[in-house]
Amino acid sequence: MSKIGNNSLIACHDCDLLFRTRPLRNNERAACPRCGAVLYHKRPRTISRALIYSLTALIFFGLANLFPFMTFKLQGREQVTFLASGGLELFQQGFRGLGVLVLSVGFLLPLLKIIGTLYVLIPLEFNFVVWKARETFKFVEAITPWAMMEVLMLGVIVAYVKLIDITTIVLGVSLYSFAALIIFMTLSAAALEPIEVWARLEQRRP
Ligand SMILES: [Zn+2]
């Protein structure tokens, strides 16, 4: 049975009050004594559940990038696009900064996030701490605000609505996989309690 890191100092993310952590029971929340913000939450089997959601996300990431995203049909011509096509196209047309940004936000950072999470959580599930696990988890936490696939999805929906009148659009397997990927990454984030991961990483310092 794992414990929340006991007696370590954390700062409230809303008002910066320093707070000593204490072990919680399952589903119990620790709130900031000054502003009432929820500081951490003991979720049952947080690592196992986040692990399963992240593995599922990885499968959908593969499907989203292997299959066509959308196929445009206009006057007998057909153009197949892939998930990474948008960023590459921008890059080739001279919008290099924008191309790199789209590829990072929609492809590279989500991939690094999933792989990094699995690299830390799979061994932790079996009570191991792998090489550079703390650095990896710190990196995953740092890139999380930038792995914004939802924004890309919103852009796709807007483009779809605008183009549907002038061209025939066939939605590919990739698009549905991409939607599933976003859902499973959100589930993984909701299941994972970082403070629990940090506590386990500190407990098993090699
Ligand atoms: Zn507070």
Closest CA to 120 of 135, 104, 133, 102: 133
pLDDT single digits (tens) 149-205:
888 888 888 988 998 888 899 999 999 999 999 999 999 999 998 888 988 888 876
Mean pLDDT value across residues 35-50: 88
Looking at the fold, whether 51 and 34 belong to one and the same domain comes out as no
- The total number of structural domains in the chain stands at 2
Looking at the fold, whether 63 and 20 belong to one and the same domain comes out as no
Q: Read off φ and ψ for residue 18, nearest 5 degrees.
A: -80, 145
190 CA to centre of ligand 1 in angstroms: 21
40 CA to centre of ligand 1 in angstroms: 12
- How far apart CA 136 and CA 140 sit, in angstroms, is 6
Looking at the fold, whether 119 and 38 belong to one and the same domain comes out as no
Within 10 Å of residue 165's Cβ, how many Cβ atoms? 6
Looking at the fold, whether 163 and 93 belong to one and the same domain comes out as yes
Looking at the fold, whether 38 and 86 belong to one and the same domain comes out as no
pLDDT at 22 over 50: yes
Mean pLDDT value across residues 81-101: 90
Looking at the fold, whether 146 and 192 belong to one and the same domain comes out as yes
Looking at the fold, whether 102 and 77 belong to one and the same domain comes out as yes
58 CA to centre of ligand 1 in angstroms: 35
Domain of 34 in residue numbering reads as 1-42
Looking at the fold, whether 136 and 190 belong to one and the same domain comes out as yes
32 CA to centre of ligand 1 in angstroms: 5
Distances (CA, A) of 63 to 57, 108, 139, 153, 174: 10, 15, 25, 16, 6
pTM over 0.75: yes
- Around 160, how many Cα atoms within 13 Å sit in the side-chain half-sphere? 15
Q: How much is the pLDDT for 75?
A: 85
Mean pLDDT value across residues 27-55: 90
Contact indicator for 54, 114 with CB cutoff of 8 Å: yes
